[in-house]
Amino acid sequence: MATPFSKIGMLQCLLVIYLSFSGFGFVGIVQSLGINYGQLGNNLPPPEKVVDLLQSLKLTKVRIYDTNPQILMAFANSTVELTVTVENDILPVLIDPQQALQWVSTRIKPYFPATRITGIAVGNEVFTGGDTTQMTNLVQAMVAIHGALVQLGLDQYIQVSTPSSLAILEESYPASAGIFKPELTVFMTQFLQFLSSTKSPFWINSYPFFAYKDSPNKIPLDYVLFNPNLGMVDPYTKLHYDNMLYAQVDAIIFAMAKLGFQGIEVRVSETGWPSKGDTNEVGATLENAAMYNRNLLRRQMSNEGTPLRPNMRLEVYLFALFNENMKPGPTTERNYGLYQPDITMVYNVGLSSLSTVSSTSTTTISLTSSAPQA
């Protein structure tokens, strides 16, 4: 005879099955999806409302681009794990261990553990900025910040890494040809030694949109949008790829291996698709943006890994939470958000508020899980 607990469990399973096939959209469990919360807008909601939105969506991983005290305080006692960012322009200061200790003591420690800070992104895309002095500063600053975390007893809770763009690769196709640019070899070796010794992840900002925009006649749209397609087989590994994002991630893994580093986890710190663009930004449409993020969400719900690491689920942070009207550059830069600043959906990818924060859709999805990692 079933116990009361097992009856409850059966009812929950039946409810999930019912919702999945009754027009309520995605109902799933995923632990590897995060989102980037940028602040380059003059009409964005206050952080407190952002926390309400994220929690209503059951999103539990967020990356911000600074250590804004207002945001850190707003996220206190929430369920959200936060990755904060050290701005590029202060890296030269933080190579000094005392300055790094001061930074961690004032920017991190006062908010932890009430605010669940789990990562520090030291700089952003520094390796592709062309400034070799800054690249040297980057690795030294990472070492100093990690040392400060150790000194304060926080290193077991907070990882240190830096997000890089795919432009760090000299070759990325096929994935097995992945290799870092030769001028970055010394810096990458130092960086990878740090990641290996601290068991921290390699963060990559990966945008298949850019590849499609530059070569729409050569790259199948379905391949970059995760739609059904024939895909491609890597001629050397014989691995089959049905989407570009996974191929780009595996190219990073191959590049690390060629420098003698294996076993470092790769996480996608940014990926997304713009819903609007200039006339020369091919593919930047609402339909494509919705399709890319919706299909990626389905993959995340399955806890998928890449063809090279099928049993290690890929952690991905979508870019971005909001459209940000003060971002410079082409129109696409201001149109990556899933939400408008008034907290209405730009388009529906399967995320919908479970509370009254947003009522633009009846689609629901649970994005928290205690499921074990494969």
* pLDDT, tens only, 98-116: 999 999 999 999 999 999 9
Distance CA 149, CA 6 (A): 44
pLDDT band at 356 (very low <50, low <70, confident <90, very high): very low
Catalytic machinery residues: 125, 270
CA-closest candidate to residue 274, choices 364, 218, 347: 347
The Cα-based distances of 35 to 95, 169, 317, 363 in angstroms read 29, 24, 5, 18
Q: Give the pLDDT of residue 31.
A: 67
Determine the average pLDDT of the residues in 311-325: 97
Residue 351 scores a pLDDT above 90: no
Q: Give the pLDDT of residue 131.
A: 96
Span 160-215, pLDDT tens digits: 999 999 999 999 999 999 999 999 999 999 999 999 999 999 999 999 999 999 99
Mean pLDDT of the chain: 88
Q: Give the pLDDT of residue 352.
A: 59
- Annotate 210-230 with b (16+ C-beta within 10 A) or e (fewer): bbbbeeeeebeebbbbbeeee
Q: Give the pLDDT of residue 37.
A: 98
pLDDT band at 18 (very low <50, low <70, confident <90, very high): very low
Of 3-17, 62-76, 79-93, 259-273, minimum mean pLDDT range:
3-17
Determine the average pLDDT of the residues in 297-326: 96
